[in-house]
Structure 1
Amino acid sequence: MNIAIIGATGWIGSTLMQEALSRQLPVTALVRDPAKLTGELADQVTARPLDLELAIDPQVFEGIDLVIAAVGGRASGQHQLMPSSAKALLEVLPKTQVKRLLWVGGAGSLEVAPGVTLVQSPDFPPEYKDEALAQGEALKVFRESDSAVNWTFVSPAAEIYPGDSEAAYRIGGDQFFTDDVGRSRISVTDYAKAMLDLIASDDYGRQRISVAY
């Protein structure tokens, strides 16, 4: 199984890459600037340039079976990159041999009550609102698409943070859920484990799932 990770030099993307390498999976890093892959990682992965602000050349996915997309616009403030990238990938990937797309989603679109999402909560942090809304738009793109690609939108817990593996993760659906003390949390390492575990099966195709302790 040859996998490609879009955004492999980012925080979540790099954790996903390390988890994939620990499982001895061949990894291709699709990044805007391959020169950012340095040291030991540069020797373990194949790097190809991919700028999601430009038209995607299907050839960049040559030899790839599965794509994990960790698209983020927080650093540049270009949050619309998320829905536009989702649309572009759903259009381009059917022209390649890629059959599956795993998307690093957000928690803001999870339902805290029927018809009410987390981002609509009055205490939702305003500094993350634009990003959460953009991820919600990306989810809508996926749900309204008739692309042949088998996609899964993977929402982390509301609190995803640096750290090693802590506990067994749980998988939910569209509903926001918490642990025994009422917190919605997961370490980035366990989120990566959950994402890579999806590779072993075709479960959760064409749907959004959520991952938390």
Structure 2
Amino acid sequence: MKLTIVGATGGVGRHLVDQAVAAGDDATAMVRDPGKLAGAPVRVVAADLATADPTTLRAAVEGADAVLSGLGPRSAADAGIATRGTRAVIEAMTTGGVRRIVVVSAAPVGTVPSPGRPHPPRRDPGDGPLMRYLLGPAIRRVLRRHYADLALMEEVLRDSGLDWTVVRPPRLTDRPLTGTYRTAYGCNVRGGLTVSRADVAHAMRHLLDRPESVGQTVGIAN
């Protein structure tokens, strides 16, 4: 499979690269700092998605079977990068004739408003009492700018006309790949509080082979 991986040096992105290489995929990694992938057996394209040249982005995605994006804000200073970067990638995909994209978002985003979805559900049907009434509201307050960015990114995807899938993990950990994670379409996983970054990457790649995931949000948890 020929893949373009966006945010390839991030927590999920690096696992996407490693798993693509292990599977024998023809992978192109789109990164801000190519030095972080020195020696990796992938094609590396240097691109700061906040200011990237459209020609560079098109060259990075053209001919790909799919795009996998681990792009997301790592700090308050990065708020907005998920939306800006995803818009740029969508434009490159549209121009280059690539349709399939799977991106990582976050479990609380289903209850976060965006301009095109100003009144989202107050609670996700997959959340238990702990997440609904205690953890969820606290997390959304602390990370409200991050989640607003991700909510807008999801809206941009919904309006893109591409074959998109959004994966919404809860708290990410650095535990090893298990391959035994749980998933739920259209809602968070019941009782799911954590998931490893390696398992998120594994799910994203395998969702490419599931046509029923197109146009869907997918909850995931260990």
Which whole-Å CA distance do the structure 2 matches of 1:193 and 1:60 have between them? Answer: 22
Contact 1:50 1:56 in 2 (8 A): no
Report the CA distance between 1:115 and its aligned residue.
1.2
Residue identity opposite 2:221 in structure 1? A
Contact 2:30 2:46 in 1 (8 A): yes
Task: With the length of structure 1 as denominator, give the TM-score of the two structures.
Answer: 0.84
Q: Pick one of 161, 171, 174 that aligns with 1:162.
A: 174
Report the CA distance between 1:173 and its aligned residue.
2.7
Q: Percent identity?
A: 26
Which whole-Å CA distance do the structure 1 matches of 2:86 and 2:79 have between them? Answer: 12
Is 1:56 aligned to 2:54, yes or no?
Answer: yes
Task: With the length of structure 2 as denominator, give the TM-score of the two structures.
Answer: 0.81
SS at match of 1:124: helix
Partner of 1:94: 94
Residue identity opposite 2:48 in structure 1? D
Which whole-Å CA distance do the structure 2 matches of 1:155 and 1:136 have between them? Answer: 11
Report the CA distance between 1:111 and its aligned residue.
5.0
Contact 2:76 2:145 in 1 (8 A): no
SS at match of 2:16: helix
Report the CA distance between 1:103 and its aligned residue.
0.8
Which whole-Å CA distance do the structure 2 matches of 1:93 and 1:62 have between them? Answer: 7
Partner of 1:132: 147
Matches within 5 A, 1:183-194: 183-194=192-203
Partner of 1:199: 208
Contact 1:109 1:117 in 2 (8 A): no
Report the CA distance between 1:64 and its aligned residue.
1.9
The structure where helix makes up a greater share of residues is 2
Report the CA distance between 1:99 and its aligned residue.
2.1
Which whole-Å CA distance do the structure 2 matches of 1:196 and 1:146 have between them? Answer: 21
Any gaps of 5 or more consecutive residues in structure 2?
A: 113-119, 125-130
Per-residue Cα deviation, 1:30-88 (whole angstroms, up to 9, x for no partner): 1112222123x2xx111111221124322232332211111122246221111222223
Residue identity opposite 1:53 in structure 2? A
Any gaps of 5 or more consecutive residues in structure 1?
A: none
Residue identity opposite 1:152 in structure 2? T
Is 1:31 aligned to 2:31, yes or no?
Answer: yes
Which whole-Å CA distance do the structure 2 matches of 1:173 and 1:203 have between them? Answer: 9
How many correspondences in the alignment?
203
Residue identity opposite 1:20 in structure 2? A
